[in-house]
Amino acid sequence: MTFEIDDSTVFVLGNGPSLKAISFEKLTGVASIGMNAAYRYWRKIDWRPTYYACLDEIVGLSHKSEIASLIAEGRIKKFLLRQNLIEALNAEGMSEKVCNFDELRKSEDVLKTPSVTTGSGAACWASVLGYRKVVIAGVDLNYVEIVDGAHKLEGAELEIQHQNENPNCFFKDYQQPGDRYNIPNTRPDLHLNAWREAAWLLDSKQVQAVNVNIDSEVKCFPYVQLHELMIGKAKLHPAREPLTEYTVAGLAKLAYKLKAEKDWFVTERKKLLLDLGKKKGELAWYQEQIAMYQEQNAILMKQRSLIRQIASRLKAEWSRRNR
């Protein structure tokens, strides 16, 4: 099987070191989603992506003025931003180009992932924008959690105080003194699980997503070689982590997030916990998540059919494993 770029294709550009392999000039005429502080590099080469995303609430506020400038200059079609940043942007936040992620995910199933990261959220947004093919580049996930020059603030928040070499990014001055951001993984494997959830949701929407970095920690997407893709048809290599290997954990969280009604949800919760082997270590976490998700019941009533599908897949998977 092969994969090729066409009008239904969008590149999702992470900011990991592997993005150095991308020639931005060759992306001219191809839809792309860029994110976070990569605008510093785009300005150096006089290039802009088709779309922009920033879903970290700390990062968004830290780069508020520069994001406002990107909106005002008019070279990017749409921006996917969080509610707190949109409010802080004032006039620019009212632009018709700005999409409110927190409002959009209330009506778009593909955005209702338990884990929210800019990269995985941007890939799911591609489906909302109408793209049927997604090329993931620069998503490495081999993070150094606290880089040299970063100072820990309250909670998971960090601030760059001295600019040193940043091993997490594809250009050296991606982060600069004064930048604030969250520790990449505010809970274990946050980004990895977010991409796993995105892989399942994109597949459920019949969106074909591929990764061009064979060394990426994200192994749940098929792989294609970048140089083959940029000159024509690329051979499609199977994902190294099939969906069935992580749906038990990932879709359990999604089931809780997308519950339809309280009585049914409580019953299914007990069944799923039993199917998951009554893992004592996870029980307290699930109970905490349930308490949080119950506040969102009113907007999730339409998800009953999807949750039943998830429960069925989980039951079938556990039956297979326990034979």
Mark whether 133 and 225 lie in a shared domain. Answer: yes
| Cα–Cα distance for residue pair 116/314, rounded to 1 Å | 22
Over the chain, what is the mean pLDDT? 87
Mark whether 134 and 211 lie in a shared domain. Answer: yes
The model's pLDDT over 226-258, given as tens digits with 9 standing for 90+, comes to 999 999 899 999 999 877 544 444 554 555 455
Report phi then psi at 119, rounded to 5.
-65, -55
Residue 180 lies in a domain: no
Mark whether 87 and 197 lie in a shared domain. Answer: yes
Mark whether 211 and 258 lie in a shared domain. Answer: no
Residues 41-51 have a mean pLDDT of 97
Residue 182 lies in a domain: no
Mark whether 79 and 36 lie in a shared domain. Answer: yes
| Cα–Cα distance for residue pair 190/114, rounded to 1 Å | 10
pLDDT at 294: 66
End-to-end CA separation in angstroms for the chain? 32
147, 138, 140: which is closest to 177 by C-alpha? 147
Percent of the chain whose pLDDT exceeds 70: 82
Residue 170 lies in a domain: no
Could you tell me the CATH number of the domain that includes residue 63?
Answer: 3.90.1480.10
Tokens of 88: 């802080």
For strand 9-13 and strand 31-35, is the pairing parallel, antiparallel, or unpaired? parallel
Residue 155 lies in a domain: no
| Cα–Cα distance for residue pair 253/54, rounded to 1 Å | 23
Are the C-beta atoms of 163 and 173 separated by less than 8 Å? yes
Mark whether 103 and 211 lie in a shared domain. Answer: yes
Residues 146-154 have a mean pLDDT of 91
Contacts of 253 (CB under 8 A, 6+ apart): 114, 115, 193, 197, 289
pLDDT at 263: 59
Residue 69 has pLDDT above 60, yes or no: yes
- Residue where one domain finishes, among candidates 235, 264, 299: 235
The model's pLDDT over 175-230, given as tens digits with 9 standing for 90+, comes to 999 999 999 898 888 999 999 989 989 998 999 999 999 999 999 999 999 999 99
321, 303, 142: which is closest to 245 by C-alpha? 321
The three-class DSSP label of residue 79 is: strand
Place of tokens 């995303």: 53
For the chain, what is the domain count? 2
pLDDT at 276: 64
| Cα–Cα distance for residue pair 118/11, rounded to 1 Å | 14
Full-model pTM: 0.76
Mark whether 250 and 200 lie in a shared domain. Answer: no
Mark whether 256 and 222 lie in a shared domain. Answer: no
pLDDT at 249: 45
Mark whether 131 and 253 lie in a shared domain. Answer: no
Cα 137 to Cα 144, 200, 227: the distances in Å are 19, 18, 12
Residue 136 has pLDDT above 50, yes or no: yes
Residue 31 has pLDDT above 60, yes or no: yes
Place of tokens 């994001």: 67
| Cα–Cα distance for residue pair 257/114, rounded to 1 Å | 6
Residue 76 has pLDDT above 90, yes or no: yes
Residue 107 lies in a domain: yes
Residue 130 lies in a domain: yes
Mark whether 231 and 259 lie in a shared domain. Answer: no
Domain that holds residue 295: 246-321
Specify burial of residue 104 (Cβ count, 10 A radius: 0-12, 13-18, 19+): middle
Contacts of 252 (CB under 8 A, 6+ apart): 272, 276, 286, 314
280, 277, 281, 282: which is closest to 314 by C-alpha? 277
Mark whether 200 and 285 lie in a shared domain. Answer: no
pLDDT at 248: 44
Residue 207 lies in a domain: yes
Residue 136 lies in a domain: yes
Mark whether 251 and 290 lie in a shared domain. Answer: yes
Query: 271 or 106, which is more confident?
Result: 106
| Cα–Cα distance for residue pair 271/128, rounded to 1 Å | 32
